[in-house]
A = this chain, B = another copy of it.
């Protein structure tokens, strides 16, 4: 039941069998270089001049066919209350017949609303940010918005500016900042004009301070778990400190240790990747710890690997707690104890916040997911 061709063109206007359509290429490739004219290669050549095929139907075409004015067509589009049902139907029929599709550019021009939400991301293909992006997109489309993304590849100011400018040029009505870094927020704050924005700080609240608290709380949860198992030398495998998430997890870690009167603990910093977890994790183990709180699951995996190489058994010789609860975490060996975050929900809420200005929905509390990578220390000192 893959496509289910023939009988009914399904619901959506998309298909329509197109009776005896000419063979024509299924996917004409961009219609670009219009058979390159012999000589003449304009320096800053504008796009090769797109041919303008049949030209789509406009409100006027629809109006004519339906025997009404263009304004009435517009009223149908925006479902105005004062419209005789028969008239509306006549217009709708005309639209269908002409396969009419409103021109969003024209609409945006006159209303000066782009109906575009921008996503500013600094991530590549990581699980968390990607999940949030997908969720934001779905939610936005459901509310009649389009989503344009702009990645700031590097962490450098130039690429951030570039990405942000792109979104501003698009006249995005709001920007969702995914995986925010202070540098990005600084840049946003310094804009001369105002663009509404919210941050998806993996926990989906908007106010910096509040969000930091969420992350902090979650990190304390993880640290507390290790402490309560009886560990006293607990290390931290931190994320890059120019990420807000990373620094608040670190802060949470430190606060919890302090609150429990546990001594200064070894801390190393990775870049979120398993590779860094492996490398930095080895360094951490060399300093002698019985438990580690890793700022994300990927790095925890690297740490698991490093521990294995060092001949340490997890959780017997070493306890490990991750952060995020990626779908893979429960299949690591051993299954990883971690803190669950709902990235998709975070994305959705960020969008709600952006579009509705309703107060930050109370965020889902992060939960600690107990699995097999944590246990009491081997030579438990006991109290």
Contacts and interface: CB of A to CB of B under 8 A. Distances in A.
Nearest to A21: B192
Contacts of A138: 151, 153
One complex includes copies of this chain to the number of 2
Contacts of A26: 188-189, 208
B192 A16 contact: yes
Contacts of A47: 113
Interface string A1-41: 11111000111111111100100111111111100000000
B331 A301 contact: yes
Contacts of A12: 158, 161-162, 165, 241-242, 247
Interface string A244-259: 1001100100000000
Nearest to A207: B25
Contact of A187 (B3, B33, B123, B335): B3
A336 to B, nearest CB: 11
A362 interface: no
A379 interface: no
Q: Looking at A13, A123, A133, A332, which has the most chain B CB atoms within 10 Å of its CB?
A: A13
Q: Looking at A42, A112, A149, which has the most chain B CB atoms within 10 Å of its CB?
A: A149
Contacts of A150: 137, 141
A278 B302 CA distance: 21
| Number of chain A interface residues as a range | 35 or more
25 contacts: A2-B161, A2-B186, A3-B161, A3-B186, A10-B158, A11-B158, A12-B242, A14-B168, A14-B244, A15-B161, A15-B187, A18-B192, A24-B194, A27-B197, A55-B112, A99-B193, A105-B105, A116-B148, A124-B134, A125-B132, A130-B130, A274-B330, A301-B331, A302-B331, A305-B333
Interface of A: 1-5, 9-18, 21, 24-33, 42-44, 46-47, 50, 52, 55, 78-79, 81, 99, 101-106, 108-109, 112-114, 116, 121, 123-134, 137-138, 141, 146-151, 153, 157-158, 161-166, 168-171, 173-174, 182-183, 186-198, 206, 208-209, 212, 241-242, 244, 247-248, 251, 273-275, 277-278, 298, 301-302, 304-305, 308, 327-328, 330-333, 335, 343-344, 353-357
Given A1-B161, A12-B161, A50-B112, 7 more contacts: A2-B161, A11-B161, A16-B186, A30-B356, A32-B357, A109-B109, A127-B127
